[in-house]
Structure 1
Amino acid sequence: MILDIPLKVSVELGRTKMLVNDLLQLGQGSVIELDKIAGEPMEILINDKLVAMGEVVVVNEKFGVRLTDVVSQFGLGDVSGAEKAS
């Protein structure tokens, strides 16, 4: 059944560009500065396609993401489980 197909879900914290020389200097304890501001919404991607924005939360001592905004045209139909009226 199509609803049983596994999808890759990822959350992007941010991006940066680095020179190879700087990359080679990284070691334990190094910090990589990203382009996002702390507290800024994170991008939620399904199979590398933006589908929502969210904020980091803690769930049972693990990281999670609370959806704050869902992109309506992500091509998967209604993923909430509710049927759309025709």
Structure 2
Amino acid sequence: MDNTSLTSPGDELSVEQLLDAATDTAPAAALPAEAPPRNLMRLMRKIPVTLTLEVGSADVSLHELMNIAKDSVIELDTLAGEPLTIKVNGIAIGRAEVVAAGENYGLKVVEISDIHLDSLTA
């Protein structure tokens, strides 16, 4: 497998490419002496994740859920003006405020935790 295609900036890896790179069992003797070791962290930088900003949540009964209509207001567990929770793949990693970013919403990070890959896996 040609590893140069895995390290080009901007490329995205398929699951198959990542697994091939991580499980390549070619004997060390077959590799040239000057071949650098694979940098797993460099490969992992290309794995897409989902970043979300959670406004809050509310526990409602099925009865209440069935009665929600167009102008219903549901109180959430987050205070107005309080920073919101930043999540990566459903795991909280920090807090942020909502800002305008051009014509879209954006987030301004106000608190971020150390991000460890072990904490982002289920």
What stretches of structure 1 of length at least 5 have no aligned partner?
77-86
Partner residue of 1:52 out of 88, 94, 107: 94
Aligned position for 1:21: 63
The count of aligned residue pairs is: 75
Structure 2, unaligned runs of 5 or more: 1-42, 118-122
| CA distance in structure 1 between the partners assigned to 2:111 and 2:91 by the alignment | 15
Query: What is the TM-score of this pair, normalised by structure 1?
Result: 0.80
Q: Which portions of structure 1, spanning 4 or more consecutive aligned residues, are displaced by more than 3 angstroms?
A: none
Structure exhibiting the larger radius of gyration computed from Cα positions: 2
Percent same amino acid at aligned positions? Answer: 31
Q: 1:61-76 counterparts in 2 under 5 A?
A: 61-72=103-114, 74-76=115-117
- CA distance in 2 between partners of 1:40 and 1:27 (Å): 27
Structure 1 partner of 2:44: 2
Across the aligned residues of Structure 1 and Structure 2, the Cα RMSD in angstroms comes to 1.1
Q: CA deviation at 1:61?
A: 2.3
